[in-house]
Amino acid sequence: MYNQTDPIYWYNGELIQSQTLKLPIDEPGLLYGATVFTTLRVYGNSLDTPLTHFQPHCDRLRFSLETFGWQLPNWESLRQGASILIKHYPILRITIFPDGREWITGRFLPPSLTEKQINGIISATSHQKIFRSLPEHKTGNYLSPWLARNRAINSTVEIKAEEAILVDTNSNWLETSTGNLWGWSNGCWYTPAIEAKILPGIIRNQLINYLKLQEQQVQEKAWTPELVKSFDALGYSNCVVEIIPIHTVIDSNETLEYNPCHSSFEQIRRFFRLPQA
């Protein structure tokens, strides 16, 4: 039985309760952020319910590991650790080191998540020089998104942002620091194209397929400054928060406003209410 003082995590085939993780001083994951990771939300207290998407998360890890030529983990051990931790946490972060060691940590849902899902948040565009390293992969080198989000949160402007939107050198919007963007205009959902060098999010891909099956229009294209001003509704998605509206964007010298209560959001929310059998 574990007490409430220290968190528990799974590392290299072992369940550990501690506030610290012991790593050698020449560990590439520590020195260079040389890890790949994925974060998943567990639905129905099971790794096998459809919305948990455990296998797609493992597939994404495998894709990155094989692309980098790193060692694959012991998948049986990884699943064993995940199965233990979901008894304690609804969110898991699975990290793989170059030599195949697995490290799984857990956390709880944000306490204000429901409020944000209903009322939306404020976001701010980031500086053009801040961009993700190897954007098609989720690597441990996550400094740029972390820096962008913290700059947005700690901005000195009167309106405080809670999320950052990364942009390219042409001021096209790419993704938020933690998720994929969605915009609604004239009966169509828009999301930035993968060619723009964004993370192909698991929920992003699932939502595109779902919306098309529901005969909803979805376009993947560049989010130019002109396009983002045409949206009636704006939001972002990831595996933890599902979909959160963005009602205000602080963009350079102007402020853009969107409707967080737009009826189009219900099309996406229905996806997360699908039967989990």
- For residues 245 and 258, is the Cβ–Cβ distance under 8 A? yes
* 62 and 198 inside one domain: no
Answer whether residue 1 is part of any domain. Answer: no
The DSSP element (H or E) to which 120 belongs, if any, is: none
Find the domain containing 235 and state its range.
113-273
- For residues 38 and 61, is the Cβ–Cβ distance under 8 A? yes
Question: pLDDT for 76-132, tens place per residue?
Answer: 999 999 999 999 999 999 999 999 999 999 999 998 999 999 999 999 999 878 888
How many whole angstroms from its chain centre is CA 151? 18
Quick check: 264 pLDDT over 70?
Answer: yes
Sign of the alpha-carbon dihedral angle for 110, 111, 117, 119: negative
pLDDT at 252: 78
The confidence band for 1, taking pLDDT boundaries of 50, 70 and 90, is very low
Rounded to an integer, what distance in angstroms lies between the CA atom of residue 54 and that of residue 48?
7
Answer whether residue 98 is part of any domain. Answer: yes
Quick check: 3 pLDDT over 80?
Answer: no
Answer whether residue 3 is part of any domain. Answer: no
- Averaged pLDDT for residues 60-78: 98
Name the domain boundary from 50, 80, 107. Answer: 107
